[in-house]
Amino acid sequence: MFQGKVKAALRLLSESGSVGKPLSLDVPVCESEPTVTVRDKLIEKHPDPAPLYPSHSLLPSTPPPNHEPHFIQFHHIDGVLVRSMLLRMDGAAGPSGMDVSQWRKACTSFSKDSDDLCDSIAMVARKLCCEYVDPRSVSALVSSRLIALDKKPGVRPIGIGEVIRRVIGKSILNVIKSDIMEVTGCSQLCAGISSACEAVAHAVREVYDSDGAEGFLLVDATNAFNSLNR
């Protein structure tokens, strides 16, 4: 409560049982398989990424139209936007250990130093959007803190990314959200389209009520994580 995390405090008071709570890495997943630990399951669910093929990326050598973004598209990303994104955010810390409340304090409570920090974050965001950046130089930025939640039965891996990465992502999306919605259309309803859940419900009901449908088969054959190179 003293840190301003009211929702976390209420959740701590109201939760009962162990369902959905983080697990220790070295405990068995279930009694039937005492040799299989939570760590083993996390490794199984996080394979190495698939190879990166040039054809999967939009490169400057791609035939017209040229896909290299122009810097003027992202000139709206500035320190003011970064600070406004932070003020709307909430969440836990990534590998660095700094959560949203600590970043918010750093970006709002120290006058010119806070302004300079927000401007620097905005500069990084613009650079990532407009220039080629060696992936090795941003490996720490895109890393995540992995925790395992108890599904009873099973393990659900949750990756908590760095706060600064989430701020940069939200700032970029604030600028290009309309373009993403236009490109994805109805093929991707989680791209910011309003009333998307209602649209899914009505579409499924329409298909189910048609004469050609007798039911639905939902199949999750394999873990899709890293089946493409991110």
Q: Cα(124)–Cα(77) distance, rounded to whole angstroms?
A: 10
CA angle 60, 63, 68 (to 5 degrees): 30
Residue 11, in any domain of the structure: no
Question: What is the structure's pLDDT at 24?
Answer: 85
Residue 110, in any domain of the structure: yes
Question: What is the structure's pLDDT at 34?
Answer: 82
Residues with Cβ within 8 Å of 51's Cβ and at least 6 positions away in sequence, in order, are: 229
User: Is the full-model pTM beyond 0.85?
Assistant: no
Nearest Cα neighbor of 17 from 149, 194, 214 is 149
Residue 2, in any domain of the structure: no
Residue 64, in any domain of the structure: no
Neighbouring CB atoms inside 10 A of 88's CB total 9
Residue 219, in any domain of the structure: no
Query: What is the count of structural domains for the chain?
Result: 1
Burial class (CB in 10 A: 0-12, 13-18, 19+), 163: buried
Residue 117 has pLDDT above 60, yes or no: yes
